[in-house]
Amino acid sequence: MVKLKIDNHEVEVPAGTSVLDAARSVQIEIPTLCNHPDVDPSAGCGMCIVRINGRIIRSCCTPVSEGMEVITTDAELFETRRMVLKLILSNHPSSCLSCARSGACELQEMANTFNITDAPLPNLTKRYDIDDSTKAVVLDNSKCILCGRCVEVCQNQQNIWALSYLHRGLATRITPANGINLADSPCIKCGQCSAHCPTGAIVEYDDTAKVWEMLRNPDLYTIVQIAPAVRVAIGEEFGFEFGANLTGKTYAALRRMGFDKVFDTNFGADLTIIEEATEFVRRFTKEPESLPMFTSCCPAWVDMLEKFNSDMIPNFSTCKSPHEMVGAMAKTYFADKAGIDPAKIRVVSVMPCTAKKWEISRSEDMKSSGYQDVDVSITTRELAKMIKQAGIDFRNIKEEQADSPLGEYSGAATIFGTTGGVMTAALRTAYFYITGKELAQPEFKDIEGLEGVKETKVTINGAEVRIAVAHGVGNVEKILNRIREAKANGEELPYHFVEVMACRGGCVAGGGQPRVIGGEYAKPYGITDHIRQLRANGLFTEDEKATNRVSHHNKSIQSLYDEYIGKPGGEKAHHLLHTHYTPRNMYK
């Protein structure tokens, strides 16, 4: 432990703590635009300067030392920070009114805090072509402040290396190597660059106008579904506490917006579990050479598989993701029951994810209904924008229920939105399929939480099933390397079943979730592990309170198989609910 003084407060913190974090430990917020708890400090913005023993130093990258005396603010520091901000703003467009981040921009908030209301310096903003090539995330270098968060997240947390610095000095910009488009880069569209960007330099590809156009067309029948993670994050856009589960209010708002049917992706999660558990049981009991099996719900992970790990394609579950299954069922099963021409049906998915925008057209398998199964995928942020555009009082709207037949779901489906949740749900049903009995203890605490790689073992009919869960795709390399090494050496497989989610914490912290720049756990840098855990808790709580906690007891799912699909894993199920993968080898 190290003792020091910060603004005459006696502080004691562990050795190695930065001055910035030491100040936060005594409720002193030093301004910063580049620091974020998910990434290593870059000291790029220069806003976090403090006076240490008389010298002005950047606090984010300076470790504490014994007897250090820190002054976090005085007249000179204040004016220096204002000048730093003015310099940043002189190289930034003043187009706040037309920027997607207006009102939720850290630079804008900082300028307001320091009362910078004019443009005192000549504007040197460079105009760059906007890169919207992925149709998932949009890169606008004109709005970049070179804080480096996106680079740190992409390279060091995700290990994708789609983004890096190009050129030097005033010509520096952040882009894929050699200035190529994101679509031609290693980018997997996870959107974590967007989630960590403090400005509007990286945002989601906006599809809200397309959705409004569908809703205004009287000849179309519009269907909407919401993902598990959306319900515990949407409220943050309207002042609710972190992790508040607002499923009923979200249904009600969507009906007010004009959707003809409000379904739930959780139904698709239960359907996914029926197919995925069936597939795992077949592999585990009859085809051990096809193990381990990887989950396939995360499109960014699918993209990464096809680009970098195509040797693992035989081990990938062929199940589509839940929202794609709902889309296929909406334009086949539901269309038949309701007597609606599927050519007139439009399906909108509300997802916590930017990669879902890519997934809806990733292959011909996404047209298993004869049409594109999901027409548009919007993020939680886009839905919040649309609710506000519609003038809906979200805080006071009364809760409503989802529509049948694609609205019923189990507690197992709800936890799909957090790391460990898909695995837990699948094991509950796989155990039942093998033994004919329900798991006495339906939770697996060893695979909950935010450790990057989590492992556990489950005994089913005397056989040991070895489990691994990874979140943040940078962590999956550890698992893949262990599997490859075991296979190469003819050793026993370290795992039989592996869950992967591309984003840290899982879908609750997806690239399309609300960016929070205020509040008890968020200020000043947006999402933290504490917020990730609060959102996850909102899902786990719903599961714990659910009357039905297993997918195979969902009566609407049972009716779907009895009336339309036939047996799980059968021919019709494979046509509508499964996919295949294509190697697109790209080396980092």
Where residue 354 falls among pLDDT bands split at 50, 70, 90?
A: very high
Where residue 126 falls among pLDDT bands split at 50, 70, 90?
A: confident
Query: Is 150 known to be catalytic?
Result: no
Query: Is 364 known to be catalytic?
Result: yes
* Average confidence score pLDDT of the chain: 94
Q: Which class in CATH covers the domain with range 87-205?
A: alpha beta
Residues 139 and 128: beta-carbon distance below 8 Å = no
Where residue 515 falls among pLDDT bands split at 50, 70, 90?
A: confident
Average pLDDT over residues 27-40: 91
Average pLDDT over residues 261-277: 98
Q: Which of 359, 382, 499, 542 is catalytic?
A: 359
Q: How does pLDDT run across 128-137, given as a tens digit for each residue?
A: 999 999 999 9
Q: What is the pLDDT of residue 585?
A: 84
Average pLDDT over residues 97-120: 88
d(CA 345, CA 250): 21
Collapsed DSSP state (helix, strand, coil) of residue 512: coil
Say which residues have a Cβ less than 8 Å from residue 222's Cβ, sequence separation at least 6.
214, 215, 258, 259, 260, 261, 345, 346, 348
Residues 418 and 229: beta-carbon distance below 8 Å = yes
Average pLDDT over residues 384-398: 97
Instruction: Return the closest-CA partner of residue 276 out of 417, 424, 404, 419.
Output: 424
Residue with token string 């947390």: 157
The reply to whether omega before 352 is within 30° of 0 (cis) is: no
Average pLDDT over residues 359-376: 97
Q: Which class in CATH covers the domain with range 2-73?
A: alpha beta
Q: Which of 10, 66, 364, 464 is catalytic?
A: 364
Query: Is 563 known to be catalytic?
Result: no
Q: Which of 144, 357, 507, 551 is catalytic?
A: 507
Q: 545: which 2 tokens?
A: 């309170």
Q: How does pLDDT run across 201-226, given as a tens digit for each residue?
A: 999 999 999 999 999 999 999 999 99
> Is the model's pLDDT at 526 over the cut of 80?
no
Residue with token string 């925008």: 357
d(CA 32, CA 461): 55
Domain boundaries, the chain: 2-73, 87-205, 210-577
> Is the model's pLDDT at 525 over the cut of 90?
no
Where residue 85 falls among pLDDT bands split at 50, 70, 90?
A: very high
Average pLDDT over residues 311-334: 97
Q: Which of 204, 275, 276, 499 is catalytic?
A: 276
Beta strands in 473-551 (DSSP E): 497-501
Q: What is the pLDDT of residue 42?
A: 87
Beta strands in 288-442 (DSSP E): 293-294, 345-351, 376-379
Say which residues have a Cβ less than 8 Å from residue 510's Cβ, sequence separation at least 6.
190, 191, 195, 229, 351, 352, 353, 354, 379, 380, 503
Q: What is the pLDDT of residue 118?
A: 78
d(CA 426, CA 465): 12
Fold for 210-577, please state it: Rossmann fold (3.40.50)
Where residue 125 falls among pLDDT bands split at 50, 70, 90?
A: confident
Is the model more confident about 97 or about 389? 389
Q: What is the pLDDT of residue 69?
A: 95
Q: How does pLDDT run across 275-290, given as a tens digit for each residue?
A: 999 999 999 999 999 9
In single-letter form, the type of residue at position 511 comes to G
Query: What secondary structure letter does DSSP report for 339?
Result: T
Query: Is 197 known to be catalytic?
Result: no
Residues 453 and 468: beta-carbon distance below 8 Å = yes
Query: Is 276 known to be catalytic?
Result: yes
Q: Which of 106, 279, 306, 499 is catalytic?
A: 279
Q: Which of 317, 321, 349, 368 is catalytic?
A: 317
Q: What is the pLDDT of residue 320?
A: 98
Q: What is the pLDDT of residue 197?
A: 94
Query: Is 356 known to be catalytic?
Result: yes
Where residue 465 falls among pLDDT bands split at 50, 70, 90?
A: very high
Residue with token string 């789609």: 162
CB count within 10 Å of CB 546 equals 16
Q: 289: which 2 tokens?
A: 């050479």
Q: Which of 45, 48, 144, 297 is catalytic?
A: 297
> Is the model's pLDDT at 362 over the cut of 70?
yes
Using a pLDDT cut of 90, give the percent of the chain over it.
89
Query: What secondary structure letter does DSSP report for 381?
Result: H
Whole-structure pTM value? 0.95
Q: How does pLDDT run across 4-23, given as a tens digit for each residue?
A: 999 999 999 999 999 999 99
- Lowest mean per-residue pLDDT among 26-40, 207-221, 377-391, 442-456: 26-40
Q: Which of 189, 320, 356, 357 is catalytic?
A: 356
Where residue 124 falls among pLDDT bands split at 50, 70, 90?
A: confident
What DSSP element (H or E) covers 412? helix 411-414
